[in-house]
Amino acid sequence: AKNDAANQIVVIGLGRFGSSLAGELVRRGSEVLAIDSRPNVVQRHADEITHTAVADTTDRESLKQLGVHQFHRAVVAIGTDLEASILTTSLLADFEIGNIWAKATSRQHGRILQRVGAHHVVLPEHEMGERVAHLVFGRMLDYIELAEHYALIKTHAPAEAHGRTLGDLKLRSKYGVTVVGIKRPDSDFTYATADTEIGEGDILVVAGTTTQVERFAERV
Ligand code: ADP
């Protein structure tokens, strides 16, 4: 089912964010219609994106001519031009597109986008800034906040754990965390069980509350 509506998406704005998003969607097998008002920008990405068009997306008729109103999924990746971002998002909402994602450059901008009909708002700079704050001291190799106080992290296995099994280490009662996956040097990530023995150089994927995973990572 590669070409059904479930796999089609409109991406509006081919700046750094929009073009990276559109390119990754195509590589993941989606059928992408990408629109930008700048012809040279559209031309630059025409080869890697399924369908591209030059249009001002604040114009309702242009959107209709491109069939945008028939899509079920769209991303508004216009950032700096606040007016264009808001107008475009509200037009997509008027078309009753069921799944509208929009990029905001500030929290206020995000609130407006939600008001005019965006279902999901992303703040790439803010979100990345917060994520990097958890990584700069090097205790965690990766950090993903899944909900407001719950996170999944990637971290080195603590030295005290080497040669012992997860069952034996009792990390859940000691730290409140759950080891979800493990990666040995030279092999892929795999699931972790009570019998999994930790070795030197192992990398763990650990889930828990933000405080718990941080406390665990700091012991490393
Ligand atoms: P980024 O920070 O990700 O590079 P920008 O805000 O700089 O994002 O880029 C957004 C893109 O949206 C630009 O390529 C710009 O040409 C495009 N864009 C801005 N206004 C409109 C509009 N009214 N219609 C279509 N595309 C637009």
Averaged over 67-81, what is the pLDDT?
Answer: 96
- In a domain, residue 200? The reply is yes
Residue among 68, 52, 63, 112 at smallest CA distance from 86 = 112
Instruction: Name all contacts of 3-10 with Cβ < 8 Å and 24+ positions apart.
Output: 3/31, 5/71, 5/72, 6/72, 7/31, 8/32, 8/33, 8/71, 8/72, 8/73, 9/33, 9/71, 9/73, 9/74, 9/75, 10/34, 10/35, 10/68, 10/71, 10/73, 10/74, 10/75
pLDDT at 111 over 70: yes
Atom of ligand 1 nearest to the CA of 56: 24
- Taken as a whole, the chain contains a residue count of 220
- In a domain, residue 56? The reply is yes
Q: Are residues 97 and 175 in the same domain?
A: no
Tell me which residue range forms the domain holding 17.
Answer: 5-122
Q: pTM of the full predicted structure?
A: 0.85
pLDDT for res 3: 47
- Quote the CA–CA distance of 148 and 141 in Å, as a whole number: 20
Atom of ligand 1 nearest to the CA of 15: 4
Averaged over 81-105, what is the pLDDT?
Answer: 98
Averaged over 134-147, what is the pLDDT?
Answer: 90
The pocket around ligand 1, CB under 6 angstroms, is made up of 13-18, 35-38, 41, 56-58, 78-81, 84
Q: Which of these three, 72, 98, 122, is where a domain ends? A: 122
Looking at the structure of the chain, the number of domains it has is 2
- Quote the CA–CA distance of 140 and 169 in Å, as a whole number: 20
Task: Give residue 178 CA to ligand 1 midpoint distance, Å.
Answer: 42
Is residue 177 within 8 Å of residue 206, measured between CB atoms? yes
Task: Give residue 195 CA to ligand 1 midpoint distance, Å.
Answer: 52
- In a domain, residue 108? The reply is yes
Instruction: Specify which residues 191 forms β-bridges with.
Output: 181
Atom of ligand 1 nearest to the CA of 84: 23
Task: Give residue 6 CA to ligand 1 midpoint distance, Å.
Answer: 25
Confidence of residue 128 (pLDDT cuts 50, 70, 90): very high
pLDDT for res 137: 86
pLDDT at 58 over 80: yes
Neighbours of 212 (CB within 10 A): 21
Residues contacting 198, CB < 8 A, separation 6+:
157, 161, 162, 163, 164, 165, 166, 169, 182, 204
Residue among 34, 30, 28, 39 at smallest CA distance from 13 = 34
pLDDT at 116 over 50: yes
Q: Name the residue of 38, 78, 87, 90 whose CB sits within 8 Å of the most ligand 1 atoms, as the mutation to test its pocket.
A: 78
Averaged over 21-50, what is the pLDDT?
Answer: 97
Amino acid at 41: V
pLDDT for res 4: 65
Averaged over 204-217, what is the pLDDT?
Answer: 94
Averaged over 134-148, what is the pLDDT?
Answer: 90
Averaged over 25-50, what is the pLDDT?
Answer: 97
Of 2-6, 131-135, 147-151, the range with the lowest mean pLDDT is 2-6
Is residue 117 within 8 Å of residue 93, measured between CB atoms? yes
- Quote the CA–CA distance of 190 and 11 in Å, as a whole number: 34
Averaged over 150-157, what is the pLDDT?
Answer: 95
Neighbours of 54 (CB within 10 A): 14
Confidence of residue 2 (pLDDT cuts 50, 70, 90): very low
Q: Are residues 111 and 146 in the same domain?
A: no
152-161 burial code (b ≥16 CB/10 A, e <16): bbbbbbbeeb
Q: Are residues 108 and 165 in the same domain?
A: no
Q: Are residues 159 and 114 in the same domain?
A: no
Q: Are residues 148 and 104 in the same domain?
A: no
pLDDT for res 219: 76
Smallest CA separation from ligand 1 atom 11, residue:
13
Task: Give residue 80 CA to ligand 1 midpoint distance, Å.
Answer: 7
Q: Are residues 90 and 148 in the same domain?
A: no
pLDDT for res 120: 98
- Quote the CA–CA distance of 213 and 179 in Å, as a whole number: 10
Residue among 59, 54, 122 at smallest CA distance from 94 = 59
CA 17, 18, 23, 27: dihedral to nearest 10 degrees? 90
Average pLDDT, the chain: 94
Q: Are residues 80 and 184 in the same domain?
A: no
pLDDT at 220 over 60: no
pLDDT at 153 over 70: yes
